[in-house]
Amino acid sequence: MAAKKRKIARRKTHPARKPRRRGPRRLVGLTGAEVLHELLIAQGVKVMFGFPGGAVLPIFDALYDTPIKFVLTRHEQGAAHMADGYARSTGRVGVVLATSGPGATNLVTGLATANMDSVPVVAITGQVRSSLIGNDAFQEADVCGITRSVTKHNALVTRVEDLARVIGEAFHIARTGRPGPVVVDIAVDATAAVLKSPPELAMDLPGYATAAKLDPAQVAAAADAINAAARPLLLAGAGVIQSGASAQLRRLAEKANIPVTTTLLGLGSIDEQSPLALQMLGMHGTATANYAVQECDCLISVGARFDDRVTGPVATFAPRAKIVHVDIDPTEIGKNVPTDVAVVGDAKKVLTRLLPLVRSPARKAWLKKIRDWRKAHPLRYKAAGRIKPQEVIDRLGELTDHDAIVVTGVGQHQMWTAQHYGWRRPRQIITSGGLGTMGFGVPASIGAAIGNPRRTVLDIDGDGSFSMTMVEVRTAARYGVPVRFIVLNNGYLGMVRQWQEMFFGRRYSSVDNLNPSFAEVARALGAHGLTVSRRAELDGALREALACNGPVVVDVQVEPEENVFPMVATGKALHEMKLGKLA
Ligand X SMILES: Cc1ncc(C[n+]2csc(CCOP(=O)(O)OP(=O)(O)O)c2C)c(N)n1
Q: Which is nearer to ligand X, 462 or 566 (CB)?
A: 462
Q: Which is nearer to ligand X, 219 or 495 (CB)?
A: 495
Return d(Cα 337, Cα 346) in angstroms, integer.
Answer: 20
CB of residue 261 to ligand X, shortest distance in Å: 23
Q: Which is nearer to ligand X, 346 or 463 (CB)?
A: 463
Interface residues for ligand X in 491-530 (CB under 6 A)? 492-496
Backbone phi and psi for residue 11, each to the nearest 5 degrees, phi listed first: -60, -30
Q: Which is nearer to ligand X, 177 or 409 (CB)?
A: 409
CB of residue 559 to ligand X, shortest distance in Å: 11
Q: Which is nearer to ligand X, 354 or 532 (CB)?
A: 532
Contact 116, 433 (CB under 8 A): yes
Q: Which is nearer to ligand X, 295 or 562 (CB)?
A: 562
CB of residue 490 to ligand X, shortest distance in Å: 5
Q: Which is nearer to ligand X, 281 or 486 (CB)?
A: 486
* Number of residues counted as binding ligand X (CB under 6 A): 20
CB of residue 467 to ligand X, shortest distance in Å: 8
User: For residue 271, how many other CB atoms are within 10 A of its CB?
Assistant: 17
Contact 411, 423 (CB under 8 A): no
User: For residue 180, how many other CB atoms are within 10 A of its CB?
Assistant: 23
Contacts of 123 (CB under 8 A, 6+ apart): 80, 83, 95, 96, 97, 98, 107, 110, 111, 147, 151, 181, 182, 183, 184
Q: Candidates 78-86, 274-282, 445-453, 488-496 — which segment interacts with ligand X by CB under 6 A? A: 488-496
Return d(Cα 375, Cα 527) in angstroms, integer.
Answer: 43
CB of residue 464 to ligand X, shortest distance in Å: 3
Q: Is 437 in the site for ligand X (CB under 6 A)?
A: yes
Q: Which is nearer to ligand X, 212 or 383 (CB)?
A: 383
CB of residue 178 to ligand X, shortest distance in Å: 24
Interface residues for ligand X in 213-272 (CB under 6 A)? none
Interface residues for ligand X in 284-313 (CB under 6 A)? none
Q: Candidates 60-68, 256-264, 436-444, 523-531 — which segment interacts with ligand X by CB under 6 A? A: 436-444
Q: Please identify which residue in 125, 465, 469, 500 interacts with ligand X, judged by CB under 6 A.
A: 465
CB of residue 154 to ligand X, shortest distance in Å: 23
Contact 42, 20 (CB under 8 A): no
Burial class (CB in 10 A: 0-12, 13-18, 19+), 395: middle
User: For residue 494, how many other CB atoms are within 10 A of its CB?
Assistant: 29
Closest CA to 508 of 487, 494, 521: 494
Q: Candidates 176-184, 254-262, 456-464, 532-540 — which segment interacts with ligand X by CB under 6 A? A: 456-464
Contact 408, 429 (CB under 8 A): yes
Q: Please identify which residue in 242, 246, 262, 490 interacts with ligand X, judged by CB under 6 A.
A: 490
Strands (E), 328-452: 341-344, 405-408, 429-430
Q: Which is nearer to ligand X, 288 or 419 (CB)?
A: 419
CB of residue 567 to ligand X, shortest distance in Å: 13
CB of residue 55 to ligand X, shortest distance in Å: 27
DSSP 8-state code for residue 274: S
Q: Which is nearer to ligand X, 303 or 439 (CB)?
A: 439
Q: Candidates 155-163, 256-264, 359-367, 485-493 — which segment interacts with ligand X by CB under 6 A? A: 485-493
List the x/- string, 374-413, binding to ligand X by CB under 6 A: -----------------------------------xxxxx
CB of residue 310 to ligand X, shortest distance in Å: 17
Q: Is 112 in the site for ligand X (CB under 6 A)?
A: no
Q: Which is nearer to ligand X, 189 or 562 (CB)?
A: 562
Burial class (CB in 10 A: 0-12, 13-18, 19+), 449: buried
The distance of Cα 525 from the centroid of its chain, to the nearest Å, equals 26
CB of residue 196 to ligand X, shortest distance in Å: 46
Contact 574, 285 (CB under 8 A): yes
Q: Candidates 123-131, 261-269, 433-441, 471-479 — which segment interacts with ligand X by CB under 6 A? A: 433-441
Whole-number Cα distances in Å, 241 to 118, 303, 316, 347: 11, 9, 28, 9
DSSP letters along 73-127, please?
Answer: -SSHHHHHHHHHHHHHHHSSPEEEEE-TTHHHHTTHHHHHHHHHTT--EEEEEEE
Q: Please identify which residue in 239, 443, 464, 529 interacts with ligand X, judged by CB under 6 A.
A: 464
User: For residue 386, how many other CB atoms are within 10 A of its CB?
Assistant: 15
Question: Is the Cα dihedral 9, 11, 13, 18 positive or negative?
Answer: positive
Task: Reduce the DSSP state of residue 300 to 3 states and report it.
Answer: strand
Q: Which is nearer to ligand X, 248 or 263 (CB)?
A: 263
CB of residue 109 to ligand X, shortest distance in Å: 7
Q: Which is nearer to ligand X, 282 or 494 (CB)?
A: 494
Q: Which is nearer to ligand X, 109 or 294 (CB)?
A: 109
Q: Is 436 in the site for ligand X (CB under 6 A)?
A: yes
User: For residue 270, how many other CB atoms are within 10 A of its CB?
Assistant: 27
Return d(Cα 340, Cα 338) in angstroms, integer.
Answer: 7
Q: Please identify which residue in 34, 117, 185, 463 interacts with ligand X, judged by CB under 6 A.
A: 463
CB of residue 112 to ligand X, shortest distance in Å: 10
User: Is the preceding peptide bond at 206 cis, omega within 30 degrees of 0?
Assistant: no
Residues contributing to the site for ligand X (CB under 6 A): 409-413, 436-439, 462-465, 488, 490, 492-496
